[in-house]
């Protein structure tokens, strides 16, 4: 059987090339550009006939990416691809997992419905699973989540002196304990109340002798940075040392990273699920192991 083809969406080229190399796949070529009227032009240049194909597209700022992505996957199917996998290191819209107010769109489900019609399987990294506890609750295609808490923990254990792993909210508890175990460090979890997009309040237990350690705030997503900022403020008020902030997904809304740096953190570090200057933790080997098994399984995740 011919090697799988990996098509990297714009912005994912170096990640996609490394991924292809790691699973003995070939890099697929395609053209994506805009017509003068801003409609999308897509042209597949590598023949996908009877081949497994994978599209690598991290889905931060997803709205502009979605139509071209759907067009590409539709073209690949039309041109005879055997199975189409989507590798989205960051999966968008997972936080809209509840109708918080009457009439709101449940966009995590709408987004999943659209993607599930276009691809045959999905591979992602630590999606925001909170009220949905499993991707299968929203994705009708086979969907696999790769968990990188132990990779993050190993990085902290090697790079931070006497760390204290701090989860900013109860949602972070799911990965705080794994990170702490891999970093050989103690952990605490704070309590967060979100009152609006950028309005977050925190409470935390007394640090006691843990105040002598370096707090490492860990979260799945850093978006507005408010969750981290409020936690930083509280840690400082409780006499903690200068904290390090670690996020899996570097979403960073405008100004968020500067705000964190101005709040006086020692360092802001993320994984490379979303390309960003703060990337320091390479999750590609973890993703590649699962992708290799996925392709070897001929599409049976
Ligand atoms: C929410 O529960 C997530 O785990 C993160 O804490 C949240 O998305 C971070 O967002 P922000 O940076 O906007 O506070």
pLDDT, tens digit, for every residue of 249-260? 999 999 999 999
> What single string gives the DSSP state of each residue in 55-94?
EE---SS-HHHHHHHHHHHHHHHHTT-SEEEEEESS-TTT
pLDDT of residue 198: 60
Closest residue by Cα to residue 125 from 103, 104, 152: 152
CA–centroid distance, residue 285 to ligand 1 (Å): 26
Kindly state the percentage of the chain with pLDDT values over 90: 84
Range 149-281 classified under CATH 3.30.160.110: no
Which residues 6+ apart lie within 8 Å of 269 measured at CB? 155, 244, 245, 246, 247, 278, 280, 281
Kindly indicate the confidence band of residue 200, based on its pLDDT and cuts at 50, 70 and 90. low
Residue with tokens 């449940």: 106
Closest residue by Cα to residue 264 from 242, 238, 231: 242
- Tokens at 7, concatenated: 């098509």
CB 193 within 8 A of CB 201: yes
Q: Is the pLDDT of residue 301 over 50?
A: no
pLDDT of residue 298: 42
Strand partners, 163: 214
CA–centroid distance, residue 9 to ligand 1 (Å): 26
The domains of the chain are located at 5-148+283-298, 149-281
Mean pLDDT, residues 253-275 taken together: 95
Mean pLDDT, residues 83-104 taken together: 97
Where helices occur in the chain by DSSP H, the ranges are: 13-22, 63-78, 107-118, 149-159, 173-183, 226-237, 256-262, 284-296
Strand partners, 221: 249
Of 132-136, 220-224, 232-236, where does mean pLDDT reach its minimum?
232-236
CA–centroid distance, residue 198 to ligand 1 (Å): 10
Ligand 1 lined by 270 (C-beta under 6 Å): no
Closest residue by Cα to residue 89 from 35, 30, 18: 18
Which residues 6+ apart lie within 8 Å of 85 measured at CB? 52, 53, 54, 55, 119, 120, 121, 122, 123, 294, 295, 299
Say how far apart CA 43 and CA 65 lie, in whole Å: 16
- Tokens at 116, concatenated: 């599930």
Greater pLDDT, 169 or 213: 213
pLDDT, tens digit, for every residue of 116-154? 999 999 999 999 998 999 999 999 999 999 999 999 999
Mean pLDDT, residues 158-182 taken together: 93
Mean pLDDT, residues 22-47 taken together: 98
Mean pLDDT of the chain, nearest integer: 93
Say how far apart CA 127 and CA 134 lie, in whole Å: 9
- Tokens at 24, concatenated: 């003995």
- Tokens at 249, concatenated: 């997904």
Ligand 1 lined by 223 (C-beta under 6 Å): yes
CB 265 within 8 A of CB 232: yes
pLDDT, tens digit, for every residue of 35-89? 999 999 999 999 999 999 999 999 999 999 999 999 999 999 999 999 999 999 9
Say how far apart CA 222 and CA 248 lie, in whole Å: 8
Ligand 1 lined by 12 (C-beta under 6 Å): no
Q: Is the pLDDT of residue 276 over 90?
A: yes
Q: Tell me, which fold does domain 5-148+283-298 have in CATH?
A: Rossmann fold (3.40.50)
User: pTM here?
Assistant: 0.93
CA–centroid distance, residue 253 to ligand 1 (Å): 11
pLDDT of residue 238: 85
Q: Is the pLDDT of residue 202 over 80?
A: no
Residue to mutate, 127, 168, 219, ligand 1, most ligand atoms under 8 Å from C-beta: 219
Q: Is the pLDDT of residue 203 over 80?
A: no
Same fold, 5-148+283-298 and 149-281: yes
């Amino acid at each position: 059987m011919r090697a799988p083809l990996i098509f990297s969406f714009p912005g994912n080229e170096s990640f996609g090339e490394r991924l292809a190399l790691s699973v003995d796949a070939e890099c697929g070529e395609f053209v994506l550009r805009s017509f003068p009227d801003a409609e999308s032009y897509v042209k597949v240049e590598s023949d996908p006939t009877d081949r497994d194909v994978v599209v690598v597209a991290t889905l931060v700022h997803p709205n502009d990416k979605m139509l071209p992505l759907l067009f590409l996957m539709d073209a690949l199917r039309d041109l005879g691809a055997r199975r189409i996998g989507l590798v989205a290191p960051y999966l968008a819209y997972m936080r809209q997992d509840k109708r918080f107010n009457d009439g709101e769109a449940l966009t995590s489900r709408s987004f999943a419905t659209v993607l599930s019609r276009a691809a045959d399987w999905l591979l992602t990294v630590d999606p925001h699973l909170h009220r949905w506890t499993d991707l299968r609750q929203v994705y009708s295609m086979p969907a696999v989540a790769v968990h990188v808490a132990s990779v993050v923990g190993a990085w902290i254990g090697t790079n931070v002196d006497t760390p204290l792993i701090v989860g900013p909210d109860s949602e972070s508890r799911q990965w705080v304990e794994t990170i702490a175990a891999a970093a050989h460090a103690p952990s605490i979890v704070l309590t967060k109340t979100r009152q609006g997009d950028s309005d977050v309040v925190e409470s935390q237990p007394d640090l006691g002798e843990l105040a002598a350690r370096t707090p490492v705030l860990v979260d799945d997503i850093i978006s507005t940075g408010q969750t981290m900022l409020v936690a930083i403020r509280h840690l400082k008020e409780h006499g903690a040392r200068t904290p390090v902030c670690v996020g899996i997904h570097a979403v960073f809304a405008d100004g968020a990273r500067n705000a964190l740096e101005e709040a006086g953190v020692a360092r802001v570090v993320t994984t490379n699920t979303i390309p960003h200057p703060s990337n320091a933790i390479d999750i590609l080997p973890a993703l590649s192991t699962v992708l290799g098994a996925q392709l070897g399984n001929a599409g049976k995740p």
